[in-house]
Structure formats: C-alpha cells, structure tokens
Chains A and B, each alone.
Chain A
Amino acid sequence: MTVYASQDQVYAEPILSEFTRATGIKVRAVYDSEAVKTVGLVNRLLREASNPQCDLFWNNEELRTRQLAGRGILRETNAWTAIGYRSRRIVINTNLVSTARAPSTLASLTNVEWRGRIALAYPLFGTTATHFLALRQHWGPAQWETWCHALQANKPLLLEGNSTVVNFVGRGEAWIGLTDSDDIAAGQRAGLPVAALPLNPETLLIPNTVALIRGSRNQDTADELRAFLQRPETIERLIAAGALEGLQAPGTGVTTDWSALLNDLDSATDTLRAIFVR
C-alpha cells in the first residue's frame, strides 16, 4: 500500500516499519518536504484525484485534511480520524527570560518590552497560519486585527518555519517565540536552552489526522493501518518520540469552528498578508 505522510519522517518511518513487521503488509511511503512548506502532499493528492496513487494520508495537522475532505478527495464516510495532539506554545530562551517574567498571554507579546525579540514563522504558512485563523474566531475579527497590527508593530522576526523559531530562540537571536510543541521538544533534545510555557486558553491543539483516500486501490489494508495508528500503544510511541504531546486533548485551548474557518480562509489570509508584509 502507498502512504503519504506529512508527519515527520523521523517519527513516521519507525511506526510504518513496525506495522509491516506486525502485519506483513508492505508500506511504500512518500514523506512531505519542508521545501514546499509541508503541503506538497496535499497538493499532490488534489492533482492525483482522477487516478489516486495513495491509500492513506497521515497528516500532522487538521486544517489541510479538512480541506481535502471538502474537495472530495477522501472517502465519503468515516473519511478521517484525529489521533493524539500537539500544541502551539510560547517558547522562551531560559538564559534570557525567566518563567516568571515571560509573557503569559499572546496579548503580552505586543508589549514594547519584547520589541524585536519575538520570533514566529511567517503566519501565512502551516500551523502558525491555522493558529492565527483560530484566534480570529476566538477573539473576533476586530480584536484579532488590532492584535495582529500591534504584534507586527513590535517588529517580530518572521521566520521560514517553526523549527527555525526554536533555533533562533535557542541561539538568543530572539528571546521568545511562538511555535509548535514538538519543535520545542526537538530543541531541548538538541541541548538548546529553551522551555515551553504552559497551555492556556489561547493555545491551539493540533491533532494528527489519518485520512483514507476515495477510490484508492488498497482500501482494506488502509483500514488496517488506520486502526494500527489509532492504537494507544502507537500514540504512546509517538509521544515518547516527541512527535505528539498527549493522547487525549486537555480541556483547554481555543475552540475552532472549522467550517467557518475554511469559509473565511481567503479573506482572513488576505488580511494577514496585508499586515505581515516582510
């Protein structure tokens, strides 16, 4: 069977190998490339819709899976499942900022104290974009736009990706950053002096998603793999590796109306593009 995996290769490959050992089913995987901002596979699934090559899409976030479902790329029923979660966090350089002094809310990032010392990925891509769009629902468009303007006025470093944010914060080029929990964990494993601030009501939780492709050739084996990925043991392995943060989503974080978010995607992205001019 063929799997397209936007979950990072270092995490996904051992799990897929274990599935092959357990079931004897050979998995041929294509992993997403950071060169195309991790939506290469989503675009590929769209272009291959007339003759699907992929049986199962393992995504490390939710928005794109919902977009694919909306475009009719996934099975009609029981199309996708969320597994585990990671989260969007504020990361600090522990040599430069104490936990007590660190900003506890996203609104605090607009304080002049942090001018030029904040790093985040360009908010038109990836989970940063999704977080910003979810905050728009959480706060309402007017408050959100004011916050975006204030954040931009604080001269943040807009970087190419979330791992870069952690590296910049770890090296002290920025003092605080907004990034994904798995990237912070990777930074800590690499010995960077970084720490994540606790979850709060503005946190976005990001589950992995496992989606089945409409018209694929190996539907039964795809079902088997989905069941394998949903097992608590598999999720625990992903948590231990740092790919996921937890099994069950905690009762905090922004609540997202995904249908509304997808409807507003173009207009909200235009607003973001206008505000965060580089």
Chain B
Amino acid sequence: MASSLATALAVAFGFATALFVSALANRAQRVLLLAAVVALALPPFVVVNCWLHYLGGTGVWRTWLNVDIFNVWGVAWLMALMLWPLTFGAAWSAWRGLDSAQLEAEPALSGFALVRWLLLPAARNSMAAAVVLTFALALNQFSIPAILQVKVLPVEFWIRFNTNLRVGDALAACWPIIVIPFAALFLLKQTKMRWSAETGPANARAFGRQLGPGVMVFTGAATVMVVGLSVALPLIQLAGAARTWTELPQVFNATIPVTTNTVLFAAWAAVLAVAMSLPVWRFRVAGLLWLFFLIPGMLLSLGIIWLFNRALLEVIYQSAAVVVLALCLRYVGPVWALIRQAFTSADTALAEAARLEGLRGWAFFRHVYLPRVAPVVFAAWYMAYLLSLWDVETITLLYPPGSETLALRAFNLLHYGHTAQVNGICLLLIVLAIAPALVYSVVRPLLFTHPLSVGHSPTNATLRR
C-alpha cells in the first residue's frame, strides 16, 4: 500500500511539475532540472531526519500542524518527495519532442483538454515506464518505512534474513518482492520510453499559451510546493545547522580516500554500464538486464559472492573491481533502456540520406548518431553515476577492505549519532552529484556539433569534413 500510494503521489507531483517546467524559458528549465536531480540524489535518511525535525513527536511544526507521519501516509509522502523526478523526467523529455504544429493545430485544444487529449497520450509510454520504476524503487525502499515504523515487505525480508540467516526462508516469506520485479520487467517490455535528444520545434511560449493561465497557476503552485518540500526544505535544514559547516573541513580531510573511492566507483560503474549497453542496444533480450535493477540489491550481491568468491575469480572478488562490477550490474538495465531509445529514435531519413551521400563508419556515426545519442548517453551515464553514489544496499555485503564509500560511512556515522559529520558528508555528496552536470553543461557546446536534419541536408563534402 505504501508503495502504491507513493507511486500515485510521485506521478502526480512529477506530471504537474513537468507541465509547468515545459512552459518555462530554457534557463529556468535548467534550474528546475537541477532541482530534480538534487531531489533524486538526496539520501533517504536526510529526507526522513528533516521531516522528523519538523513533524516528529516533538517536531517544531507540531504545535500548529498536528500531522502524524509515523504511518503509511507519512511513508508514501516522503517516498513521493524523493521519486517524483522520475515521472517529471519522463514526461518533460517526451514533450520536448512535440512539434509546435501539434500544439497549435487546434486553438480550442487548450487547458486541461490539451493535457487530456495531447500531452497525456504523448507522454503515456514514457510515464508508464516511470510508474514501473517508481513502484519498484518504492517497493524496495527500506530505510524510510523502518524509521517511520511502518511494516513493509523489505523490512519483513530483513527481519527474517537476520533472524535465522537463511536467505531461502526470507525469500519464501516475502515472495512478492521477487515476483513484482518480473511483472515490472514484463510491463517495461510493453512500454517504449521516450527520451528526446533534442528540443522539438514546439517552443515553451506556445506550450504555456496553450496550457492557459488556469493550468499554469495550478501547476506552478504544485511545482513550488514539490520543489520547496523535496529540495529546499532538506537543504535548508542541512545547510542551516552551523555545525555542518564547522565540521565540513574536518570531514573532507578525514574522508579524502573514501571520497576518492566514491567518485571512482560511481564513475567507472557508470562508464562500464554504458560500455556494456552500447554494443547490445539492438537486442531486445538485453532487456533482461533490468532484473538486476528490479530485484533487491542484497540478492544481487549474494549472487556476486557466489559467482566470484572462488579461486579463479578471486582477484576480482578481493579488489575494488567487485564493487564497480556490482554497481554496474545494478544500474545497467535503465542505462541500456535509455541508450536503446536514443538509437531507435534517431532520424532514419537522415541516416538514409547520409548513406546515399556515401557516409560510412566513424563519419556516419559522428554526423548522424553522435549529436543525437551523445546527450542521452551522458544522461544514462549520469543516472548510473547518481544512483551509484548513494548505493549502500548492493555493496554492503561485498566491499573489500579499504573500499568504503561515503554512503557507507554516512550510514555508520548516523548510527553513532554524529549528525554534523553526516551532514558534512551529505553536502560533499551533493557537490559530487552536481559536478558532472555542471562540467557537461560547459563542455557540451565545445564537443558536439548541432545535429543534422534532412531538411538541412549537407553536401557530401561537408559531411566528410
């Protein structure tokens, strides 16, 4: 129930936010995209601690807002505030591919009618995939229900696993967390996620005009609320504590090797996931890679122990390579899906034109595929990087001596009650999360040429150059 409620709320939040953001100017869109990334990158315990501070038993808001968050609704609310960016990203990117003619062909099609008859169908497939992902992530979420004392399947699984230390018994008792990923995999196969590589001809002004003032005010208010509660509130609480800043230099100095591990593991795992996905984007059977993402991370790590803890493969098992491999496998499914979508949505007319012009090999890839695929490949890499930064569940049973990450360190410090140090680590992780996006936004214009289109067919000589 908690997962279903969380999914419903997250989808509503993400959809409303995407509507509003799609009608904003490019710069404002980028700011809100960054906010979505931060919301997705915030660790669960920071979010929970923040809300306990405000609405816990002695929370500072309880005197005027008597809302109890120690229940299913509280769990759903917090998970929704963390997971809305998935639906937001799916819908926003689907609408980026819309043509202005589609928006303006029928002037009467505006407001909620536009949403009902054009925008919702246009984003339906992408959103379906986002719903499945959101539900799977909510279903596997352990820490929020545990802290808010709500009994959910992952908590039950851990109880059984920890009591008698028999994995089989735990799985038998909590079979839905295994069955549901397979069902999710089946549903994902039926949907086609859209991730637009470039902005379509529809401009934000036309989008806003057709949405109308009523929808804009409503979705604008929803966006302010969602971004305020999911991003601003935890960050204010995090940054507002004076000890967070006084501890930050010490935390940084004390965690330099751990920070290095964190960045390297996340970056290499993401690179490996992209490298694995690129050669197999054509093969539908590679969709099975999603299973590594949908099953509980702990099961994946048990499988890796079983496979690699033997004489022949010990060199991997005893090194940090096992952590990189585990993170790569965990997130390669979504990476593959994004890359496949980027290639399949490439302009086939342009590809034909380029072939007729005699373009082959690297020149073909560079001019036809690269400008369209590169942003998505980066997005896929970035997603895997972000998810790897905070991963604890997958690597906690695997990491060899000396391979601790910031996320693991944060969990342990939290156990000792070192809140200021944990806050310092969280700030550090947020910086690490945002850094690649900032670097990319600077480097991208220098690296990639503008994508070609059929209507702007170049000469053979131009292409070869």
Contacts and interface: CB of A to CB of B under 8 A. Distances in A.
A31 B412 contact: yes
Interface size class of A (residues with CB under 8 A): 35 or more
B416 A278 contact: no
B58 interface: yes
Contact of B58 (A10, A39, A172): A172
A221 interface: no
Nearest to B163: A269
B260 interface: no
Nearest to A29: B401
A51 interface: yes
Contacts of A124: 159, 162-163
Nearest to B53: A171
A273 interface: yes
A27 B355 CA distance: 61
A167 B53 CA distance: 12
Given A30-B401, A190-B417, A35 B408 contact: yes
B149 A33 contact: no
Interface string B388-406: 0000110011011110100
A212 to B, nearest CB: 18
Interface in A1-47: 2, 8-10, 28-31, 33-37, 39-40, 42-44, 46-47
Contacts of A112: none
B397 A44 contact: yes
Contact of A51 (B163, B314, B416): B314
A163 B56 contact: no
Interface stretch (B82-90, B111-119, B301-309, B423-431): B301-309
Interface string A131-165: 00000000000000000000000000111110110
Contact of A265 (B163, B318, B402): B163
Interface string A158-185: 1111011011100111100000000000
Interface string A78-97: 00000000000000000000
A35 B58 CA distance: 25
B336 to A, nearest CB: 27
Nearest to A273: B159
B414 interface: yes
B116 to A, nearest CB: 41
Contacts, number: 113
A190 B396 CA distance: 28
A171 B416 contact: no
B163 A186 contact: no
A171 B419 CA distance: 14
Nearest to B398: A44
Contact of A33 (B161, B314, B411): B411
B245 interface: no
B158 interface: yes
Contact of B402 (A9, A28, A273): A28
A187 B397 contact: no
A147 to B, nearest CB: 20
B78 to A, nearest CB: 14
A33 B392 contact: yes
Nearest to A49: B309
B221 interface: no
**Smallest CB-CB A-B distances: 7 pairs:** A28-B401, A173-B57, A34-B415, A35-B392, A35-B411, A278-B149, A47-B305
Interface of A: 2, 8-10, 28-31, 33-37, 39-40, 42-44, 46-48, 50-51, 53, 67, 71, 122, 124-125, 129, 157-161, 163-164, 166-168, 171-174, 186-187, 190, 265-266, 269, 273, 277-278
Interface of B: 56-58, 143, 146-147, 149-151, 158-159, 161-165, 298, 302, 305-306, 309-311, 314, 317-318, 392-393, 396-397, 399-402, 404, 408, 411-412, 414-417
Given A28-B401, A37-B162, 6 more contacts: A44-B397, A122-B146, A160-B146, A186-B416, A273-B159, A278-B151
